[in-house]
Amino acid sequence: MAAAAVVPNKKVVLRRHVTGFPSKEDMEIVVDTVSLRVPEGQTAVLIKNLYLSCDPWMRDRMAASAALALGFAIGEALVNYGVGKVIDSTHPDGWEEYSLITQPESLKKINHTDVPLSHYTGVLCDWPHDCMHARKPFRHPPWFTFGSCMTGVTAYSGFMEVGKPKSGDFVFVSAASGAVGQVVGQLAKIAGCYVVGSAGSDKKVSLLKTKFGFDDAFNYKLEPDLTVALKRCLPNGIDIFFDNVGGATLDATLLHMRLSGRVVAYGMISQYNIKEPYGMRNLYTIILKAIRVEGINVIVNGEDGWDIKEGKVTVVEDVVQGIEKAPAALVGLFSGKNVGKQLVAIAKA
């Protein structure tokens, strides 16, 4: 039996635990080697990684004490969802070019090949059906794991099942051009709602109006007072707030909710890198207006295939080429550098 070829394997390794905003210096690129064959006697699968997903929640795992799942270890490759190709015997998850997967049962075969493969890191990631999920054991049951893999299904189930849109509802989406926001806005339009999004640049605002079909949008960085922007764009108030931002944005928007409004608490990116969370003062509105606030981190129902396959939903991805660019892409999420779902393309096939 011929010896297996050994090739270089670049990885993004955690250099130090993160406090505050993550920086590129918290990570480093390390070049290791990998045998292109699964070691003899090992039940495993060797994956060539094609796309890796880049998501805000990874910040939590870079801290010394992670709240969501197992923290990343210093000196080890970061881990997240992705799409890959089986080389030797299926589970691309390490932030590395190749990954040896010893729990192949956790790999999910991709069934639909009529859309870009990259969509399977996000909008089409119908976990547990189609997605390959993290190799490392989680502190919580598997269905507690979350991240990019939730972009599609969770945007769908969060908006539809928690938001319960009715035709004519007024919908506000924060961080609306992001991986999740762009999908939610389009689902809202399909449901017959009036939808307004906020984003952090004029380019993104333009994208919301022209590409994703939002009825209105504003650049929150140019609005000294969110309340004024909301009153201008949504003078009748808000029935559904799909929130990716949290903190002051959530607090101000609560006051603008209508009776029996629904807040889908999907993300709080404003709160991830700060030591002292923002003090929310408008919670009493929840009682005054009989508002439901529901946190989403669970894939409640895998909806295998939906509007995207019928071409009803447009997806914008922000893809950087090469694993060397991964740390900057991850850091860029927190300053809103990305336009749409952030991905790292590792290899062509």
Positions in the binding site for a copy of itself (CB under 8 A): 67-68, 140, 144, 246, 250, 259-260, 265-268, 271, 276-298
Nearest to 217 by CA among 225, 227, 230: 230
Q: How far is the CB of 280 from a copy of itself (least distance, A)?
A: 4
Q: Return all residues near 15 (Cβ < 8 A) that are at least 6 apart.
A: 25, 26, 27, 28, 74
Instruction: Output 115 or 293, the one with its CB closest to a copy of itself.
Output: 293
Q: Residue 131 or residue 265: which is nearer to a copy of itself going by CB?
A: 265
Q: Residue 94's beta-bridge partner residues? A: 79
Nearest C-alpha neighbor of 67 from the set 248, 294, 272: 272
Closest distance to a copy of itself from the beta carbon of 334 (Å): 16
Minimum gap (Å) between residue 254 Cβ and a copy of itself: 10
CB of 99 to a copy of itself, least distance (A): 27
CB nearer to a copy of itself: pick between 296 and 343: 296
Contacts of 50 (CB under 8 A, 6+ apart): 82, 83, 84, 85, 92, 117, 118, 345, 346, 347, 348, 349
End-to-end CA distance of the chain: 26
- CB nearer to a copy of itself: give 201 or 282: 282
Which of 311, 245, 271 shows the shortest CA–CA distance to 63? Answer: 271
Shortest distance in whole angstroms from residue 26 CB to a copy of itself = 21
Report, in Å, the least distance between residue 146 CB and a copy of itself.
9
Give the nearest distance from C-beta 171 to a copy of itself in angstroms. 19
Cβ-contact 321, 345 below 8 angstroms:
yes
Sort residue 80 into left (φ over 0), alpha (ψ -120 to 50) or beta. Answer: beta
Q: Which is nearer to a copy of itself, 296 or 346 (CB)?
A: 296
Residue 123 near residue 151, CB atoms below 8 Å: yes
**Which of 247/305 has CB closer to a copy of itself?**
247
Q: Which is nearer to a copy of itself, 35 or 271 (CB)?
A: 271
Q: Under 8 Å CB-to-CB from 41, ≥6 apart: which residues?
A: none
Nearer to a copy of itself, 39 or 137 (CB): 137
Q: How far is the C-alpha of 202 from the C-alpha of 256, rounded, in Å? A: 24
CB nearer to a copy of itself: give 294 or 304: 294
Closest approach of Cβ 19 to a copy of itself, in Å? 17
Q: Which of 215, 232, 216, 234 is nearest to 224 (CA)?
A: 232
Sequence letter at residue 44: A
* Residue 150 CB-half CA count within 13 A: 22
Q: What CA–CA distance (Å, rounded) separates 145 from 312? A: 28
146: left (phi over 0), alpha (psi -120 to 50) or beta: beta
Q: Minimum Å distance from CB 297 to a copy of itself?
A: 5
CB of 27 to a copy of itself, least distance (A): 24
Which residue, 60 or 88, is less far from a copy of itself as judged by CB?
60
